Amino acid sequence: MTCIFRIYRILSYVLLSGLTAASAGGVPAFKKHDRVAFIGDSITHGGRYHADVYLFYATRFPDQPFTAYNCGISGDTAPGTTLRFEDDIVPHRPTAATIMLGMNDAAGYVFEAARPLHAKISGQANSYDSYTKAMEQLAASLNAIDCRIIFIKPSIYDQTAELDQENLNGKNDQLGQFSHYIDSLASKYKADVIDFHTPMGVINHSLQAIDPSATIVGQDRVHPGLPGHLVMAYHFLKSQNMPQYVSAIQIDAATDGKVLQLINCELNGSLTATPESVCFTATENALPFPLSQAQVKALEWVPFQNDLNRQVLAVDNLAPGDYALSIDSIMVGRYSSEELKVGINLSANSATPQYQQSLKVKALQDQQLKATSQLRTIALVRHSMVKKIKPPVPEKDHAKLTTALAKHLDKSHGRPWYGFLKQQVETFLEAAPREAEYKQQELNWMREMWLMNQPTQHTWQLNKID
Written in H, E and C, the secondary structure of 13-76 is HHHHCCCCCCCCCCCCCCCCCCEEEEEECHHHHCCCHHHHHHHHHHHHCCCCCCEEEEEECCCC
Q: Which residues of the chain have pLDDT under 50?
A: 1, 7, 10-11, 13-24
Architecture of domain 245-352+454-464: Sandwich (2.60)
Same fold, 3-239 and 245-352+454-464: no
DSSP 288: P
pTM to 2 decimal places:
0.94
Please give the pLDDT value at position 3: 52
Residue 18 confidence (pLDDT): 42
Residue 257 to residue 20: CA distance in whole angstroms? 43
pLDDT (0 to 100) of residue 9:
52
Give the C-alpha separation, 359 to 288, whole Å.
Answer: 9
Starting at the edge strand found earlier in the chain, the sheet holding 258-263 runs 258-263, 245-252, 310-316, 344-345
Q: Please report the sign of the dihedral spanned by the C-alpha atoms of residue 39, residue 42, residue 46, residue 49.
A: negative
Query: Where in the chain are the domains?
Result: 3-239, 245-352+454-464, 358-451
HSE-up (13 A, CA, CB side) for residue 346: 29
Amino acid at site 257? G
Count of C-beta atoms within a 10 Å radius of residue 410: 10
Which CATH code fits 3-239?
Answer: 3.40.50.1110
2 CB burial (10 A radius; 0-12, 13-18, 19+): exposed
Could you tell me which residues come within 8 angstroms of residue 367 by beta carbon, excluding any fewer than 6 positions away?
441, 445
Using only C-alpha atoms, the chain has a radius of gyration, in whole angstroms, of 25
Q: Which of 268, 273, 270, 269 is nearest to 257 (CA)?
A: 273
Taking each helix axis from N to C end, the angle separating 353-384 and 435-452, rounded to the nearest 10 degrees, works out to 160
**How far is it, in rounded angstroms, from Cα 19 to Cα 235?**
10
pLDDT tens for 120-174 read 999 999 999 999 999 999 999 999 999 999 999 999 999 999 999 999 999 999 9
